[in-house]
């Protein structure tokens, strides 16, 4: 029997998927997805069920999406009923990536409530992607039965799924918010809050919902009367203050027990919540009484005065507090040194760029400037030379800057985010490295770029995906390619970088210019894997890619 070249390629691919080395399995999955063959499908599905490495599983899923749906869909539908939890979870994940709505009937209520949390979360995500429009209200009804389940990550996943369904979830969420279980009610309220305001954040929404539930809100109907001690425990308002409210007529308990103890109804508890909310705005108890009891009361004038007074008070107190904290942070030994600190702080905010630069350079050697002041100056400095001096001084400061700079990464001003990212990238300590790792997922591409390039100089391979994105986008792509070459110091890392770059080149959505830049990025990646990838690209249909790959091969001596 004659064995063709294609047969031997398939055999190598199947063997590679079983290799004991994760890097070899990753390369095999990439090769299988790049050259689809029906004979691969059973093995790909089988490996998804057992593969321990996340990156390899993700590549297996990608390889399955490259094969015809007519082959993959039946195999994956069989896996969602498998006994092994990973088989069910990975099959559901892959179905969501394929996106064929014919798979939706297989996502049963049993899967949506699977005892394994990873399976359930995969089922939620897949169901939201695949559900036809007419099925979405019924899906919402099933999903809300899982409210209150698991830890915060699981609850966040469920909330995201419900939010993705949109307004059809509102009736089911409100019904759940009126239930008896406090965890379920809080989760339902938090999810509806996220639906209304996606930027509010899950953790904050949960805490606010728990507070409302504890005070008897959420539309749960009237509750049994509660004694004053329990009201104090739930609301955080002391029993003494509750009695004071009663003496002023703000909140009167609706009843008393036979022994004379105060009993608060659900309406009473809600009024306590209203009083506390108005107190938090700065209203006096007398003004609160008017606001709650006078039907003709119009709060606009009063609130306007409060806003003006509060702004003025905050501005004055903030300025004073900032000056005091900066002087205190410098820890002056005497009044003479304290005055030197004050003079240096004034110089940092001088109108003269030269004065600001001298102050920045002297702060590292003479009178130490508090880190908070240096960070504020870095974030607001428009002059390039002064900004460089400030970053230099900040990198030599006593520490603590990474937390302040990390907070500035969320500034609504793009220039501030860029300055914060650049300063953070130049800090040498481990705390900065941790913040830079977090910044790899930042929504601002400029922030991600600074973080990735800095981490690459520290040998952090977690920066690879962002560096590849930079090459694709043409944003500091030469720096990113150099960083990829520097990271490829060992064979395993070099092979992983080669596999990731090649995967982006073969994606149908990658633009032609980006494919050329990605090919060029393989120039400094050593190893046989990169050479083989270049040899394959030298036969690419895109002439620019093939010429670049052939030239790089010649530079490598044809083998790397």
Which stretches within 35-151 are classed as H helix? 41-50, 54-65, 69-79, 85-98, 109-112, 117-130, 136-143
Give all strands of the β-sheet with 262-264 in edge-to-edge order. Answer: 226-227, 262-264, 255-256
CA 38 to each of CA 64, 97, 249, 457: distance values in angstroms, whole numbers, following the listed order: 10, 19, 79, 43
| Residue carrying structure tokens 């759940």 | 176
Read off the pLDDT of each residue in 454-462 and give the average, rounded to a whole number.
Answer: 92
Exposed, middle or buried, 111 (CB in 10 Å: 0-12/13-18/19+)?
A: buried
Does pLDDT of 115 surpass 50?
Answer: yes
Residue 326 confidence (pLDDT): 55
Run of H or E residues at 539: none
Which of 118-122, 293-297, 356-360 is predicted with the least confidence, judged by mean pLDDT?
Answer: 293-297
Residue 3 confidence (pLDDT): 45
Phi-psi region of 148 (alpha: psi -120 to 50; beta: other; left: phi over 0): left
Q: What is the Cβ-side half-sphere exposure of residue 460, based on CA atoms within 13 angstroms? A: 22
CB 275 within 8 A of CB 288: yes
What percentage of the chain exceeds 90 in pLDDT? 40
The torsion angles phi and psi of 296, rounded to 5 degrees, stand at -90, 5
pLDDT tens digits along 404-433:
898 999 889 999 999 999 999 998 877 788
CB 95 within 8 A of CB 121: no
Alpha carbons 71 and 43: distance in angstroms, whole number = 12
CA 419 to each of CA 378, 385, 405, 521: distance values in angstroms, whole numbers, following the listed order: 7, 13, 9, 27
| Residue carrying structure tokens 């049963």 | 108
Does pLDDT of 104 surpass 70?
Answer: yes
pLDDT tens digits along 127-177:
999 999 999 999 999 998 998 888 878 888 888 888 888 888 888 888 887
3-state secondary structure 216-254: CCCCCCCCCCEEHHHHHHHHCCCHHHHHHHHHHCCCCCC
Read off the pLDDT of each residue in 2-23 and give the average, rounded to a whole number.
Answer: 78
CB 512 within 8 A of CB 524: no
Does pLDDT of 229 surpass 60?
Answer: yes
Angle, CA 292 vertex, CA 287 and CA 293 arms, to 5° = 100
Which of 41-45, 123-127, 297-301 is predicted with the least confidence, judged by mean pLDDT?
Answer: 297-301
CB atoms within 10 A of CB 293: 10
Does pLDDT of 263 surpass 90?
Answer: no
Alpha carbons 29 and 23: distance in angstroms, whole number = 10
3-state secondary structure 6-36: HHHHHHHHHHHHCCCCHHHHHHHHHHHHHCC
Residue 2 confidence (pLDDT): 45
Does pLDDT of 307 surpass 60?
Answer: yes
Within its chain, how far is the Cα of 394 from the centroid? 27
Helix axes 152-165, 117-130, angle to 10 degrees: 10
Residue 522 confidence (pLDDT): 93
Residue 301 confidence (pLDDT): 61
Tell me how far apart the terminal alpha carbons of the chain are, to the nearest angstrom: 36
Residue 221 confidence (pLDDT): 46
CB 223 within 8 A of CB 217: no
If you average pLDDT over every residue of the chain, what do you get? 82
Q: DSSP character for 4? A: P
508 vs 151: which has the higher pLDDT = 508
For residue 149, the cross-strand partners are none
Q: What is the Cβ-side half-sphere exposure of residue 231, based on CA atoms within 13 angstroms? A: 29
Residue 119 confidence (pLDDT): 93
CB 441 within 8 A of CB 414: no
Alpha carbons 287 and 300: distance in angstroms, whole number = 13
pTM above 0.75, yes or no: no
pLDDT tens digits along 524-555:
899 999 999 999 999 999 999 999 999 999 88
CB 250 within 8 A of CB 275: yes
Read off the pLDDT of each residue in 225-239 and give the average, rounded to a whole number.
Answer: 77
Read off the pLDDT of each residue in 183-202 and give the average, rounded to a whole number.
Answer: 72
User: Which of 154-168, 209-223, 336-350, 466-480 shows the highest mean pLDDT?
Assistant: 466-480
Q: Is 557 helix (H, G, I), strand (E, B) or coil?
A: coil
Residue 279 confidence (pLDDT): 79
Token pair for 124: 């939620």
CB 487 within 8 A of CB 495: no
Q: Is 226 helix (H, G, I), strand (E, B) or coil?
A: strand
Residue 220 confidence (pLDDT): 45
pLDDT tens digits along 324-367:
555 565 555 555 555 555 656 666 667 788 877 877 777 555 55
What percentage of the chain exceeds 70 in pLDDT? 83
């Amino acid at each position: 029997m004659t064995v063709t070249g294609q047969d031997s390629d398939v055999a190598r691919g199947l063997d590679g998927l079983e290799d004991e080395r994760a890097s070899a399995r990753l390369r095999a999955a990439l090769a299988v997805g790049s050259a689809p063959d029906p004979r691969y499908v059973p093995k790909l599905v089988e490996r998804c069920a057992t593969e321990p490495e996340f990156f390899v599983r993700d590549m297996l899923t990608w390889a399955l999406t490259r094969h015809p749906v007519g082959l993959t869909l039946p195999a994956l539908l069989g896996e969602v009923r498998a006994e092994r939890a990973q088989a069910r979870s990975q099959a559901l994940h892959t179905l969501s990536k394929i996106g064929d709505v014919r798979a939706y009937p297989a996502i049963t209520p049993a899967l949506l409530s699977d005892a394994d949390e990873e399976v359930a979360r995969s089922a939620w995500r897949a169901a939201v992607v695949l559900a036809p429009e007419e099925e979405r209200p019924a899906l919402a009804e099933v999903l809300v039965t899982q409210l209150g389940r698991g830890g915060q990550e699981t609850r966040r996943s469920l909330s995201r799924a419900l939010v993705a369904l949109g307004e059809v979830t509102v009736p089911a969420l409100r019904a759940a918010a009126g239930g008896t279980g406090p965890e379920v009610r809080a989760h339902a309220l938090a999810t509806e809050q996220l639906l209304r305001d996606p930027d509010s954040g899950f953790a904050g929404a949960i805490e606010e919902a728990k507070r409302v539930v504890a005070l008897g809100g959420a539309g749960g109907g009237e509750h049994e009367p509660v004694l004053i001690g329990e009201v104090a425990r739930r609301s955080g308002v002391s029993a003494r203050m509750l009695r004071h409210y009663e003496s002023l007529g703000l909140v009167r308990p609706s009843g008393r027990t036979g022994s004379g103890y105060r009993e608060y109804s659900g309406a009473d508890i809600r009024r306590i919540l209203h009083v506390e909310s108005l107190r938090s705005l700065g209203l006096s108890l007398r003004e609160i009484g008017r606001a709650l009891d006078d039907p003709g009361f119009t709060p606009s004038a009063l609130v306007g005065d409060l806003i003006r007074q509060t702004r003025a008070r905050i501005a004055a107190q903030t300025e004073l507090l900032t000056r005091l904290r900066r002087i205190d942070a410098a820890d002056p030994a005497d009044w003479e040194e304290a005055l030197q600190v004050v003079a240096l702080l004034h110089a940092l905010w001088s109108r003269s760029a030269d004065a600001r630069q001298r102050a920045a350079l002297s702060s590292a050697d003479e009178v130490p400037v508090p880190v908070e002041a240096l960070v504020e100056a870095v974030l607001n400095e428009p002059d390039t030379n002064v900004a460089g001096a400030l970053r230099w001084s900040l990198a030599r400061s006593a520490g603590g800057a990474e937390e302040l700079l990390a907070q500035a990464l969320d500034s609504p001003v793009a220039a501030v985010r860029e300055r914060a990212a650049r300063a953070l990238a130049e800090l040498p300590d481990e705390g900065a490295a941790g913040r830079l790792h977090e910044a790899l997922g930042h929504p601002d591409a400029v922030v991600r770029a600074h973080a990735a390039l800095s981490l690459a100089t520290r040998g952090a391979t977690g920066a690879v995906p962002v560096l590849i994105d930079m090459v694709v986008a043409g944003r500091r792509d030469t720096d990113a390619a150099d960083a990829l070459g520097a990271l490829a110091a060992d064979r395993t890392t070099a092979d992983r970088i080669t596999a990731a770059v090649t995967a982006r080149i073969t994606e149908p959505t990658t633009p032609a210019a980006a494919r050329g830049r990605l090919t060029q990025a393989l120039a400094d990646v050593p190893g046989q894997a990169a050479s083989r990838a270049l040899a394959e690209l030298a036969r690419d249909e895109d002439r620019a890619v093939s010429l670049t790959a052939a030239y790089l091969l010649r530079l490598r001596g044809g083998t790397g």
